[in-house]
Structure 1
Amino acid sequence: MPSSSVPISSLQSIKGVGPKRAAVLAEAGIRSVADLYDYFPRRYLDRTVIRRIAQLRDGESVTVVGTVTGTRLEGGGRGRGRFKATVSDGSGVLELTWFRSVHYFSKSIHSGDMLAVHGRVSFFGRTPGMQHPDYDRLGGSGEDGRAEGSADGELYKTGGIIPLYPTSDAMKQGGVNSGTLRAIVHRAFRDQPPRITEYLTPEIMEAYGLMPIGEAYRQLHFPDSAELLERARYRMKWSELFFAQLFFALRRTEERRSLTSARFERSGDKTAGLHERLPFEMTGDQKRAVKEIYHDLRSGHQMNRLVQGDVGSGKTLVAQFAMTLAVDNGLQAAFMAPTEILAFQHYIGLKQVLEPLGVTVALLTGRQKKKLREEQLARLESGEIDIAVGTHAIIEAGVRFRRLGLAIIDEQHRFGVMQRKALQDKAENPHVLLMTATPIPRTLTMGIYGDLDVSIIAEMPAGRQPIQTRLCREDQKPELYRLLRKQIAEGRQAYIVYPLVEESEKMDLKAATESYEQLRGEVFPELRLGLIHGKLPAEEKEAVMAAFRSGELDILVGTTVIEVGVDVPNATVMVIEHAERFGISQLHQLRGRVGRGTHRSSCYLVYAKMAGDAKERLQAMAATNDGFRLSEIDLQLRGAGNMLGREQSGTASSLRIADLMTDGEIMRSARAAAFELVEKDETLSHPEHARLRDYYHTHFRKRISLADVG
């Protein structure tokens, strides 16, 4: 909200906000009345959608309103107690249980309190319950309840819509609950009403049917009806997503105006040779991606394109066409992969395909012997090497290219922003192609990579057999091993993968190594097994992989080091131990190591116990092979920021009211408006855009924290 349009007085100018409450609110980012207006309710209590306790069903997430009829502490000892409260709404009794912060909840919830309780229902016998529910006090005997919460109870009874504000434990302990905030916001609107100047142009308002900003603020905090509330929420979400997309539109326009890259003038012998040597017909998605890349490379503007494709969809072939086009135009290409195994895989694959065409491919990793590395660096700098494949070692200071024209980054989400930028800095504005085999929902792609052009390869190559995925309990492993032996007897190969996570890496590695010895000595003594993990020297990893690829090993036992890039068409069985410890993305990537040939393949997810999110993850894996559908489920379970990780979650985490998981249609509308605006006015310098430009620079530009590369 523009500071010139609202009161900028301190919170202590509002009745009921003294120094103590002001300090608590300041910790939550509410330092002025303007901040208070931007502190939106997280949800609303509408009497028409509240469930009666007698109607509850196991597993559903609901809101219940009732009165606390009893409380009790159970258990004892440090950290082993629990706090329980029973709530009644006249139709039945709901039992609430807290295992954490027991002391706090036992002091906060009392008999007689009227609560709005939100959570997932579980039945224990005939009694419904919720564990660690979220709740809002609507009145009663708790702290601040009588003074500022009783009105909510009356509002609930009359059927009004009650805004419920987010409150942290620190706020609650400081005497500020949702009811307190509601009362403070009400007094602020009454005594210091905001005077908000509309910053969107009349043309945009009319074209997209948006509620005026002042009315949207009022309806968000004090909705008159469900319909007006929905319109207000739409306006706020649309505006937030519009300015996020405006950031992308302005940045892409600026880069295209100021950054010129080598124009790829011709398609020569190398590119033609690659096409002629293809043993199969490319998919429609592959052809479209190649066409889009060629258009970028011939434009004279720097290409910034993300190729997003499911496991086994053929992204590498698309990248090969981009590389041969670079070589045909007298330029070099760099191909950076996140692990040595993946870099080596790409090196072998590119060498086999491209060297017969006269393209020189070299490998650069951190563990190469000094003499070999120096030779490679000299050949790279002289231009003798056309394509350099490597890990992060390719971006080190001593690596120099003669004429780098194309930088390709595989599994780009596993590199930090600065690592990606370091590769781009190896030349004057090289074209950049990012690739990921981790499908990302389309809405999230727009929100995170809004200034990149995106090519999606969803179509799988002809002849690929769908992978059968089955859940397997620990006690079913003898039958699983029988099926695995049968496949190997038919000439196939298999993977057995164990989890390896950073928090327990040493223990996981020890368990994987011990399991390998047991499998080799007791379970499969007649078969040939190999072990691979991240701690092995590069030479040993390469030797084990070469043995498995050539068929000298029947079973490859490993950790998640084989997650991406390993391509052995004869491998048809993937066994993932302790599958409940893996995320959906990892499980899908591991499953993608099989099913790469013409033989029917299977993936077995072995679990010790399955509950909560783990159950949903494993059931989703068994239900579909579609990586894009799985990514949507993953997004629902984990949220945008957690799914992407710190490196990629800038826009997702900067949103205050919009939700990338649910607001896809709003995103598309806002994106269209933002890019259309910048197409008409590249610098927002037209007089009619002055307010919009000022609002963007004052309130959004500093919030969007994405770096200057992909």
Structure 2
Amino acid sequence: MTVALTDSVSTLPGVGPKRVDALAALGITDIASLLTYYPFRYNDMRVKNLNEIQDQEQVTLKGVVAAPPTIARFGRKKTRLNFRLLIDHDVVPVTFFNQPWLQKQITVEEPIMVYGRFDANRKQLNGMKILASGNADPMASVYPSNSGIRQKTIQQLVQAAWDQYHDEITDLIPAPIATHYRLLDRQQMIHDMHFPETLAAAQAARRSAKFEEFFLFQMQLQQLKHQDKTQSGVPIAYDNEQVTALTQSLPYELTGAQKRVVNEICADMKRPFHMNRLLQGDVGSGKTVVAAIVMYAAITAGFQAALMAPTEILAEQHANNLQALFEGFPVNIVILTGSTKPAVRKEILPRIESGELNLIIGTHALIQDTVQYHKLGLVVIDEQHRFGVGQRQALREKGDNPDVLAMTATPIPRTLAITSYGEMDISVIDELPAGRKPVSTYWIKSTQIDSAIQFVTGQLQAGHQAYVVTPLIEESEAVDMKNAEAIYERFSQYFAPKYQVGLLHGRMKNEEKESVMAAFKNQEFQVLVATTVIEVGVDVKNATVMFIYDADHFGLSQLHQLRGRVGRSDQQSYCILIADPKNKNGVQRMQVMTQTNDGFVLSQKDLELRGAGDVLGKKQSGVPDFKVGDPVADLTMLSVAQQEAKQLSDQKDWAQQPENNALADYMKQKERTTYLFD
């Protein structure tokens, strides 16, 4: 009978329908996924001498039973089994709690091996299990398990799968790469991940397993990238003179980083391949003007450009800013959102379809079936992580495979850029425009709020405005955090009648939100109490103070985004964090916020403290749950794996080379069965 690693786990003895379901819940469906279901730690079962054991270490002791075991009963159904173990000339008391049945396995003057936790101060062992003498694995694997399947069952199934299928395991990593990085062959690696003789063997296997995992993932990303590069795109032959005229008309000079990024994007647009590029830049680094220049480049080549923003407020802001920027240039702008009135839609849709309107700005309304484009050449997606994969894909499909430029103001550390966006080319604006002053950030305790409010009053007296941010809209018994409505009441009373206070939160209708933001921008009120609705993109140059309640309840990246709402002019701006953190992690985050304005430094720190899912959001992050590799701790290895995958993928005939047969088969199988992103 032929066997293959793709065989279902149901082929193993003792695996019926119930067990199949329990294994599936752990992500184990076939033999391959069982053999790569690796232990997360090992119990060192080797017998140790008493003088080499650390306090509270889990160890195996071997000796002779020196006295008959005794059982003491206490409490309801609770027992304590005691006996003494003679090891050379030392007597070690051993205790087992609530395992009275072990008494039968303990015989005076007979040798015995016991595994447990050693108390070095009292020189006694808190027993966990009695081992069959001579049969104990030197390193016992411990696997993630669930209520449906026991640890011991997983160990037995892995052993059965290994015994029956190990000859089917072939190397996936090409031999030159494996040799160069001194990786174990795959059969040895899988064996030593499950059944290592020593801790050193387990560590060597784990190193090889990490590299394999990173390399295979990067190969998938490179395949996606190559699909984009081979997909016929539309070469956008823009008019260089017209684009230069636009940049020279700007009231300021572009930074070196902006110029570099414009050149990267324009060079990509000229190519006959589909562009899929991520533009990354910190808050206030000038991404919008870069987007404006490249959209104008597409327009000079006779194409339409579309800019999709996550909120109507942001879409309106883009439309207003771009209207001013393109004054005197042949750009016909239209805004299309969910709240565009039917009569207005009816009037503008034919003008989009005819090509008369060549810059279309909006929200997800841009991808509705009724919107037909004349010649869509470039799609710009602002704050792209706020859109689902389906929405981004729908906009791409609106034209004849238009070029895509995704923008994000969430500075993504290199770790996440390599994992989340490995299939995209990345342009980074790593320089702030001249004249921008860094926002001064202070952390205070809640007992110091009154003096902070006096500071805000001073800023209002100087003619500036202030944001006050809180995590909750209304009172909650579950969480002791300040809420927007209570703070709004408090600030309204405090500042009346001299200064006006507004309220903005996510439960308001879009029209209400826009009305409040417009009023704040027009200085109809001086203080805006808000939830994190104001986190992205909103631009009020006169606001110089950001006051954040319960700041330790936000991640660093989110705090940085909020802080970016101030400091948008040449005025000195301030961010005041109010927090009483209850743990070391919270204290660390507050300290880091006061020490740096660099979003990349902060997001890397956020990644270390909170994990990838929390930095970008679980669904948006796209960061896979690696089984053994840690993209933060193992960044160097991840980078090396990416370089090797790229080098191999760049060889057009790599899949036809005999030494890559197993890898090519694996890639084909992955293509058929999985999606990298949701």
Question: TM tier, shorter chain?
Answer: 0.7 to 0.9
Q: Once the 2 structures are TM-superposed, how far is the Cα of residue 195 of structure 1 from its aligned partner?
A: 4.9
Q: Does 1:347 align with 2:325?
A: no
User: What is the CA–CA distance in structure 2 between the aligned matches of 1:430 and 1:547, rounded to whole Å?
Assistant: 37
Number of matched pairs: 628
Decide which of 195, 200, 215 is 2:188's aligned counterpart: 215
Residue ranges of structure 2 left out of the alignment (5+ in a row): 61-71, 76-96, 104-113, 119-124
1:383 matched residue in structure 2:
355
The DSSP-based 3-state class of the residue aligned with 2:565 is coil
User: What is the CA–CA distance in structure 1 between the aligned matches of 2:175 and 2:559, rounded to whole Å?
Assistant: 49
Aligned CA distance change for structure 1 residues 478 and 646 (closer, same or farther; 3 Å): closer
1:668 matched residue in structure 2:
639
User: What is the CA–CA distance in structure 1 between the aligned matches of 2:474 and 2:235, rounded to whole Å?
Assistant: 42
Q: Does 1:517 align with 2:493?
A: no
TM norm structure 2: 0.82
User: What is the CA–CA distance in structure 2 between the aligned matches of 1:256 and 1:72, rounded to whole Å?
Assistant: 73
User: What is the CA–CA distance in structure 1 between the aligned matches of 2:187 and 2:446, rounded to whole Å?
Assistant: 60
Amino acid in the other structure paired with 1:483: F
Decide which of 377, 387, 394 is 1:422's aligned counterpart: 394
Contact 1:237 1:657 in 2 (8 A): yes
Q: Once the 2 structures are TM-superposed, how far is the Cα of residue 188 of structure 1 from its aligned partner?
A: 5.9
Aligned CA distance change for structure 1 residues 20 and 72 (closer, same or farther; 3 Å): farther
Aligned CA distance change for structure 1 residues 111 and 530 (closer, same or farther; 3 Å): farther
Q: Once the 2 structures are TM-superposed, how far is the Cα of residue 601 of structure 1 from its aligned partner?
A: 1.5
2:557 matched residue in structure 1:
585
Decide which of 289, 296, 302 is 1:317's aligned counterpart: 289
Q: Once the 2 structures are TM-superposed, how far is the Cα of residue 700 of structure 1 from its aligned partner?
A: 7.1
User: What is the CA–CA distance in structure 1 between the aligned matches of 2:251 and 2:16, rounded to whole Å?
Assistant: 76
The DSSP-based 3-state class of the residue aligned with 2:407 is strand
Q: Once the 2 structures are TM-superposed, how far is the Cα of residue 504 of structure 1 from its aligned partner?
A: 7.4
Q: Does 1:526 align with 2:498?
A: yes
User: What is the CA–CA distance in structure 2 between the aligned matches of 1:442 and 1:505, rounded to whole Å?
Assistant: 40
Amino acid in the other structure paired with 2:423: D
1:240 matched residue in structure 2:
213
Once the two structures are superposed, what CA deviation does each residue of 1:352-376 show, in whole Å capped at 9, x if it has no partner? 1112333222211111222223223
Decide which of 38, 41, 44 is 2:39's aligned counterpart: 41
2:121 matched residue in structure 1:
none
Decide which of 194, 197, 202 is 2:175's aligned counterpart: 202
Q: Does 1:626 align with 2:598?
A: yes
The DSSP-based 3-state class of the residue aligned with 2:299 is helix
Q: Does 1:455 align with 2:433?
A: no
Q: Does 1:607 align with 2:579?
A: yes
Contact 2:470 2:530 in 1 (8 A): yes
Aligned CA distance change for structure 1 residues 41 and 265 (closer, same or farther; 3 Å): same
1:4 matched residue in structure 2:
4
Aligned CA distance change for structure 1 residues 372 and 43 (closer, same or farther; 3 Å): same
* 1:429-440 superposed matches below 5 A: 429-440=401-412
Once the two structures are superposed, what CA deviation does each residue of 1:118-141 show, in whole Å capped at 9, x if it has no partner? xxxxxxxxxxxxxxxxxxxx9945
Amino acid in the other structure paired with 1:512: A
Contact 2:474 2:483 in 1 (8 A): no
Once the two structures are superposed, what CA deviation does each residue of 1:226-255 show, in whole Å capped at 9, x if it has no partner? 444333222222222222121222222233
Contact 1:407 1:432 in 2 (8 A): yes
Once the two structures are superposed, what CA deviation does each residue of 1:281-300 show, in whole Å capped at 9, x if it has no partner? 32222122111101111112
Contact 1:362 1:387 in 2 (8 A): yes
* 1:430-579 superposed matches below 5 A: 430-500=402-472, 511-579=483-551
User: What is the CA–CA distance in structure 1 between the aligned matches of 2:203 and 2:479, rounded to whole Å?
Assistant: 51
2:80 matched residue in structure 1:
none
2:371 matched residue in structure 1:
399
User: What is the CA–CA distance in structure 2 between the aligned matches of 1:109 and 1:557, rounded to whole Å?
Assistant: 64
Q: Does 1:695 align with 2:673?
A: no
Amino acid in the other structure paired with 2:411: P
User: What is the CA–CA distance in structure 1 between the aligned matches of 2:21 and 2:509, rounded to whole Å?
Assistant: 55
TM norm structure 1: 0.78
User: What is the CA–CA distance in structure 2 between the aligned matches of 1:506 and 1:272, rounded to whole Å?
Assistant: 57
The DSSP-based 3-state class of the residue aligned with 2:170 is coil
Q: Does 1:166 align with 2:144?
A: yes
The DSSP-based 3-state class of the residue aligned with 1:434 is strand
1:272 matched residue in structure 2:
244
The DSSP-based 3-state class of the residue aligned with 1:652 is coil
Contact 1:12 1:22 in 2 (8 A): no
Aligned CA distance change for structure 1 residues 110 and 376 (closer, same or farther; 3 Å): farther
Amino acid in the other structure paired with 2:4: S
User: What is the CA–CA distance in structure 1 between the aligned matches of 2:571 and 2:100, rounded to whole Å?
Assistant: 61
Aligned CA distance change for structure 1 residues 682 and 345 (closer, same or farther; 3 Å): farther
Amino acid in the other structure paired with 1:230: Q
User: What is the CA–CA distance in structure 2 between the aligned matches of 1:6 and 1:390, rounded to whole Å?
Assistant: 47
Q: Once the 2 structures are TM-superposed, how far is the Cα of residue 207 of structure 1 from its aligned partner?
A: 3.6
User: What is the CA–CA distance in structure 2 between the aligned matches of 1:631 and 1:542, rounded to whole Å?
Assistant: 30
Amino acid in the other structure paired with 1:670: A
Q: Once the 2 structures are TM-superposed, how far is the Cα of residue 258 of structure 1 from its aligned partner?
A: 3.0
The DSSP-based 3-state class of the residue aligned with 2:620 is coil
1:679 matched residue in structure 2:
650
2:87 matched residue in structure 1:
none
Contact 1:290 1:321 in 2 (8 A): yes
Amino acid in the other structure paired with 1:246: M
1:637 matched residue in structure 2:
609
Q: Once the 2 structures are TM-superposed, how far is the Cα of residue 200 of structure 1 from its aligned partner?
A: 3.1
User: What is the CA–CA distance in structure 2 between the aligned matches of 1:8 and 1:514, rounded to whole Å?
Assistant: 58
User: What is the CA–CA distance in structure 1 between the aligned matches of 2:602 and 2:244, rounded to whole Å?
Assistant: 37
Amino acid in the other structure paired with 1:341: I
User: What is the CA–CA distance in structure 2 between the aligned matches of 1:328 and 1:354, rounded to whole Å?
Assistant: 13
- After superposing the two structures, state which structure 1 stretch, 367-376 or 300-309, moved more: 367-376
* 1:223-372 superposed matches below 5 A: 223-269=196-242, 271-372=243-344
Aligned CA distance change for structure 1 residues 426 and 513 (closer, same or farther; 3 Å): same
User: What is the CA–CA distance in structure 1 between the aligned matches of 2:45 and 2:588, rounded to whole Å?
Assistant: 31
Decide which of 643, 658, 664 is 2:629's aligned counterpart: 658
Q: Once the 2 structures are TM-superposed, how far is the Cα of residue 605 of structure 1 from its aligned partner?
A: 1.5
User: What is the CA–CA distance in structure 1 between the aligned matches of 2:227 and 2:324, rounded to whole Å?
Assistant: 40
Contact 1:41 1:220 in 2 (8 A): yes
Contact 1:406 1:431 in 2 (8 A): yes
The DSSP-based 3-state class of the residue aligned with 1:684 is helix
1:96 matched residue in structure 2:
none
The DSSP-based 3-state class of the residue aligned with 1:565 is coil
Amino acid in the other structure paired with 1:373: R
User: What is the CA–CA distance in structure 2 between the aligned matches of 1:108 and 1:401, rounded to whole Å?
Assistant: 74
Contact 1:5 1:194 in 2 (8 A): no
User: What is the CA–CA distance in structure 1 between the aligned matches of 2:467 and 2:252, rounded to whole Å?
Assistant: 27
Aligned CA distance change for structure 1 residues 659 and 483 (closer, same or farther; 3 Å): same
Q: Once the 2 structures are TM-superposed, how far is the Cα of residue 35 of structure 1 from its aligned partner?
A: 4.3
Percent of aligned pairs sharing the same letter? 40
Aligned CA distance change for structure 1 residues 429 and 504 (closer, same or farther; 3 Å): farther
Q: Once the 2 structures are TM-superposed, how far is the Cα of residue 418 of structure 1 from its aligned partner?
A: 1.0
Contact 1:139 1:146 in 2 (8 A): no
- After superposing the two structures, state which structure 1 stretch, 583-592 or 279-288, moved more: 279-288
Aligned CA distance change for structure 1 residues 509 and 195 (closer, same or farther; 3 Å): closer
The DSSP-based 3-state class of the residue aligned with 1:435 is strand
- RMSD, matched Cα: 4.1
Aligned CA distance change for structure 1 residues 586 and 27 (closer, same or farther; 3 Å): closer
Aligned CA distance change for structure 1 residues 388 and 22 (closer, same or farther; 3 Å): closer
2:83 matched residue in structure 1:
none
2:26 matched residue in structure 1:
28
User: What is the CA–CA distance in structure 1 between the aligned matches of 2:102 and 2:565, rounded to whole Å?
Assistant: 57
- After superposing the two structures, state which structure 1 stretch, 547-556 or 2-11, moved more: 2-11
Q: Once the 2 structures are TM-superposed, how far is the Cα of residue 307 of structure 1 from its aligned partner?
A: 0.5
